[in-house]
A and B are shown apart, each in its own frame.
Chain A
Amino acid sequence: MASQASNTGSSSGQDLSFAALVEAHYAALYRFAMSLTRSETDASDLVQQTFLTWAEKGHQLADPGKAKAWLFTTLHRQFLGARRRSQRFPEVALVESGEEFVSPAPDLVRRLDAAALMELLSRLDEQYRTAVALFYLEDCAYQEIAAILGVPLGTVKSRIARGVAQLKAMVARRQKEERGA
C-alpha cells in the first residue's frame, strides 16, 4: 500500500531506515520498557511512541551512530514523562556494606523465570533500576548508559553497582526463604 518512511542519508553508512531501526532495536526497547513498566501494554505503547517520535524527529539527529542511544533515551524520557516524575537523582556512593556482597547460587537465578526476575528488578530503587536494566538487557558500555540516562559516568557506575548488589541481596533472601520453607 505504501512505502515506508525512511531516514536514510547516513554519512557513516549505517542503515537508518525506519524498518532497519525497528528490526535492530524494537525487541531490546520492549524489554527495557518492560523493566520500567512491568506491563506488556504500557511497554508496547512506549515502544510505539518512541518509534513514532523517531518518524517525526529522527531526521534531526546529526550523528547516525547515536540512533540507538537516541531511541533508548527517548523511551526513558517518555516513561518519566508519563510517570510525571522529574526529580533529580542524587549521586550515590559505590556499595560499601559488606552484607551486599553476597553471592546467591547461580542455579537459583537460572530457576527463576524472566517474569520473576522482572519482578525482582521492579523492586529495586527506581534510580538504580533503569541503569541495571540497560546493563543486563543490552551490552551498553557504561558511557553509553550514562548518555542514555543523561547522567555522569561515575553516577551510572554507582547506580549499577548499587542495583546489582540490591538484586543479589534479594535473590539471596529468596534463596534463604526457599531453603527455610
Chain B
Amino acid sequence: MTGERAKQILLLYRPGTTDAQDPEVADALAAVEADPGLRAWFEQHCEFQAAMRSRLRAIEVPPGLKETLLARGRIVPLPRAQPWWHGTPALAAAAAVVATVIGLWVFGGFSREGARRYADYQSRMVATILREYRMDVETPNLEEVRGYMRSKGSPDDFELTAGLQRMELAGGGFLRWRNHPVSMVCFRRQDKQMVYLFVMKKELVKDPPSPQPRISQVHDLQTATWSSGDKAYLLAAPPEPDFAQKYL
C-alpha cells in the first residue's frame, strides 16, 4: 500500500473507536508502522481527529430542551379513527341499514348514553366559548377564582399546568354541563386572545380522558384533555404550533 493510499484510508480513522477493525483501515495502520514519514503524518492526524471530536462534542445543548421533550412526550395525538364501513360501498350500505335499524330500536337509550360521553362535554364547552361566554369574576388572583368556584359548588382545588402557571390570569366563570358544575378559568395570552381551562369531576362522564394529555382540534380551537385525581381537565385555545409546549 502506498503512503498516499494509506492517508486516504486513514482519514476515516478515529482513535479510540472500533475503526481499526475495518480491514482497509487495519491495512493502512500496518503501513504506518513501516513508514516513519507516514507515522509523523498519522500522529498529527490523530491529534486533529481527537481535537475535532472533543470540540464538536462540547457544543452546549440549550437548557430546558430535555424537559421540553419529556413534556411533549406525554402528548399523544388523538388517533384518527376511521369507521370500519368506510372500506367499500357495499359495506357502507350495509352499515347504513344496520345503523338505521339499531337507531330506531334503541334510540332513546343510546342517545342518553352518548350525552354522557366526554366528547360531548368537550364539544359543548368549546362551542360555549366560541359562541358566547362570560367571566363571573375578573381577577388576576387565583384564590379569588377558587373561592368563587367553591361558593358555587364547582371544582375549586384544580391543578394548573406549568404552562398555565406562567400565564396572566384573567378570571373565571361558572358553567353547567347537563346540570353538573364546571369551573372555567380564563387566561390572557400576550396577543390578548384567551386560553380556557375547564374542570369538572371525571366521574360525570362514562369515558374520562386518560392521564396522558391528548391534543385534538375541536371546532376552531385546539384542545388538550387529561385526567388528574378525581377531575377531568379540558384546555382550549386558538391553534398554535407550540400549543403543548406553551400550555402543558
Residues of B within 8 A of A35 (CB): 56
Residues of B within 8 A of A106 (CB): 44, 47-48, 50-51
- Chain B residues bordering chain A, tally (CB within 8 A): 49
Determine how close the nearest CB of chain B comes to the CB of A136; give it in whole angstroms: 5
Residues of A within 8 A of B228 (CB): 1-2
A55 and B76 contacting across the interface, CB-CB below 8 Å: yes
Residues of B within 8 A of A3 (CB): 74, 211-212
A44 and B65 contacting across the interface, CB-CB below 8 Å: yes
- CB of B59 closer than 8 Å to a CB of A: yes
A51 and B72 contacting across the interface, CB-CB below 8 Å: yes
Given A22-B66, A22-B69, A103-B44, A31–B61 Cβ distance below 8 Å?
yes
Among A8-16, A61-69, A82-90, A107-115, which stretch is in contact with chain B? Answer: A107-115
Partner of B74, one of A4, A112, A117: A4
Residues of B within 8 A of A104 (CB): 48
A5 and B212 contacting across the interface, CB-CB below 8 Å: yes
Partner of A47, one of B65, B74, B211: B65
- Chain A residues bordering chain B, tally (CB within 8 A): 55
Determine how close the nearest CB of chain A comes to the CB of B190; give it in whole angstroms: 18
Q: What residue in chain B is nearest A54 (Cβ atoms)? A: B73
Residues of A within 8 A of B59 (CB): 30-31, 34, 114, 118
A94 and B8 contacting across the interface, CB-CB below 8 Å: yes
Given A44-B62, A95-B11, A106-B47, A52–B72 Cβ distance below 8 Å?
yes
Q: Can you show 15 pairs from A to B with CB atoms below 8 A apart?
A: A2-B74, A2-B226, A4-B70, A22-B69, A23-B66, A30-B59, A44-B62, A44-B65, A56-B77, A101-B41, A109-B52, A136-B57, A139-B14, A141-B18, A167-B52
Interface residues of B (CB under 8 A from A): 4, 7-9, 11-12, 14, 17-19, 22, 41, 44-45, 47-53, 55-62, 65-66, 68-70, 72-77, 159, 161, 211-213, 226, 228, 245, 248
A1-B211, A3-B212, A5-B76 are known; give 18 further A-B pairs, CB within 8 A: A2-B212, A4-B70, A4-B73, A5-B73, A5-B74, A26-B61, A26-B65, A26-B69, A30-B62, A40-B62, A55-B73, A55-B76, A109-B52, A110-B55, A114-B56, A136-B56, A137-B56, A161-B12
